[in-house]
Structure 1
Amino acid sequence: MRGTKLLRQVHLWVLAALASTLLAGCGDEYVVLNPKGPVAQTQYDLIVISTILCAIIIIPVLALTAFIVYRYRDTPGNKASYKPEWAHSTTLEVIWWGIPVIIVALLGYFTVRDVYALKESPNKEVPPITIQVTSLDWKWLFTYPEQGIATVNYLEIPAGVPVQFHLSAEAPMNSFWVPELGGQIYAMSGMTTELYLQADEPGEFDGRGANFTGEGFAHMNFKVVAKPQEEFDQWVKEVKGTTPALTKEDYEELKQPGLAEVMTFSSFPEGLFEEIVSKYSHGHPMHSSDAAPQTNE
């Protein structure tokens, strides 16, 4: 009976390992661990530091657990010392309380340091561009106030230039996430959140909604394309010269629940983003949060 149970457990472990190996091939790479910009790199470093610090506790605890189970097992002839009256050891108390306190202090230091660093532009020498992000049911609207254009489910940015995102929602709360460029941050009705991202080099990156918002949630994906500044400027000119304007009527239709394809607009109503935010403030001043992005831990 015992042998059958052991065989069954081994079988389950083999199946789990096999499934992990096969499922790992579903994607080209682990995007969270593939930073392509300074924000993502900072968060990646924080993940590595946190993993190492936690391993300092976890690995010895697991090793000691295995050792104690084996050393003090109830078997004939076991020579392990037996001290039924033992109750206290100052040395052990210092070890198993002191080390975790140090680990938590170090985790707190690195986390606070990086969280505050990510509240500012990752590149002080290059002025950032501003992009306003509105979460809709079930699509993303991006407005470029400096360029005067808008896009749906598509985001183009200049490589090597910090991007300051202002985020809000016309629908249930969602979470804006481009894994290779940085951690996710919430987009909420009646307020704005801010997030800095930057792509170090030209490339294409996958963006997604990371908070469940209903039936079409799984389709709230968008493509982020980073291009050299000259190509980005040329793209802006093409959009302004070849696409229609986004009117208030178009926006009212766009915000209705449903899926949408990629769209570009040569202009959008002035103050549209501010109007979206203020309509849910119920007469109160607009609330703005510059909270740092969530790390992917």
Structure 2
Amino acid sequence: MNAKSKLIFLILCAAGAVTFITLFVLNADIAVFDPKGWVAGEQRDLMRTAVLLMLVVVVPVLILAFTFAWKYRAGNAKAKYAPDLDHNTKVTLAQWGIPILVICVLAVVTWNATHALDPSKPLLRQGSGGRALTIQVVALRWKWLFIYPEQNIATVNFVQFPERTPISFELTADAPMNSFWIPQLGGQMYAMEGMVTKLHLMADAPGEFAGSSAEISGKGFAGMKFIAKASSQEYFDAWVASVKQSGQTLDLNAYNELAKPSENNLPTFYASAAENLRDMIVMKFMPPKSEMQVMEH
């Protein structure tokens, strides 16, 4: 195979790889590219914009790499030979100017998006269905506990909320640090012992969305998944009423049993939860000993 054939082969391989990756991304069932909420949609657009801006630098570099390899090959007698060339103002300006310009544009875009999509900032979006719904989230080993303080119910590995309603997730952990993530609604947020972090999301339409842990946290990590369901306000109210009829209650003794490590837990529903349960979980890591720490002993 001569030099020209090798170059053509490499170009075809590169083009084939790019085509394959493009088709895979466009057709694969990738949650972050199928947003169902405003936050996730804005994050997807930011990723696309960032990649396109970076391609402004990457694509010319790849083209020039093949071009120079072909033009200045050993067998090309027509190529200009200039061993003493050590500076070219135009080339230098292009080499530095274009990347700097791209970085400046990317910095402005990222700065604005980062502040607009601050996960701790409440969502005030036109067309939302009502005031924010607060859901307290506790990362356990290896399951997710959801507490609805206003409705006084709790669930495990299942969370439901009304569509077009801002959701304020308040995250903490009673286990090693974890990461709460619903890819189709927004980015992830860490849940840590002894503190509360906030994540504000909203679903644009009814549907079920896969949620999971985005932080490796032990042998049960792979099964630490949950279902996030958006529904109409009427259906949500009916669901809350049905949970209140479930019969199970999440008092402190029941919570201590629930907090024990377990894997691949099915959704569980509690008609009521101990008062200020989330706050007691947070305070158990603070001196002096809380009521929950005393009960554990």
Asked if TM exceeds 0.5, the reply is yes
Matched residue, 1:42: 42
Tell which has more relative contact order, 1 or 2 (C-alpha 8 A, sep 6+).
Answer: 1
Structure 2 residue 90 is the aligned partner of structure 1 residue 91: yes
Work out the CA distance in 1 between the residues paired with 2:102 and 2:146: 41
Count of paired positions: 270
Matched residue, 1:288: none
Give the letter for the 2:111 counterpart: V
Matched residue, 1:81: 80
Give the letter for the 2:145 counterpart: L
Q: CA deviation at 1:112?
A: 1.8
Matched-pair contact (CA < 8 Å) for 1:38–1:122 = no
- 1:23-62 CA deviation, whole Å, 9 max, x = no partner? x69x972111001110001101101110110111111110
Give the letter for the 1:112 counterpart: W
Matched residue, 2:147: 143
Matched-pair contact (CA < 8 Å) for 1:150–1:265 = yes
Matched residue, 2:107: 108
Work out the CA distance in 2 between the residues paired with 1:111 and 1:272: 38
Give the letter for the 1:96 counterpart: Q
Matched-pair contact (CA < 8 Å) for 2:246–2:269 = no
Matched residue, 2:267: 262
Structure 2 residue 257 is the aligned partner of structure 1 residue 253: yes
Work out the CA distance in 1 between the residues paired with 2:117 and 2:286: 27
- 1:151-177 CA deviation, whole Å, 9 max, x = no partner? 000010101101011111111111111
Matched residue, 1:214: 218
Work out the CA distance in 1 between the residues paired with 2:89 and 2:40: 43
Matched-pair contact (CA < 8 Å) for 1:39–1:122 = no
Matched-pair contact (CA < 8 Å) for 1:240–1:265 = yes
Work out the CA distance in 1 between the residues paired with 2:204 and 2:238: 20
Tell me the percent identity: 41
> Which contiguous aligned blocks of 4+ residues in structure 1 show a shift greater than 4 angstroms?
none
Matched-pair contact (CA < 8 Å) for 1:202–1:226 = yes
Work out the CA distance in 1 between the residues paired with 2:204 and 2:146: 21
Matched-pair contact (CA < 8 Å) for 1:137–1:216 = yes
Matched residue, 2:174: 170
Give the letter for the 1:122 counterpart: L
Structure 2 residue 200 is the aligned partner of structure 1 residue 201: no
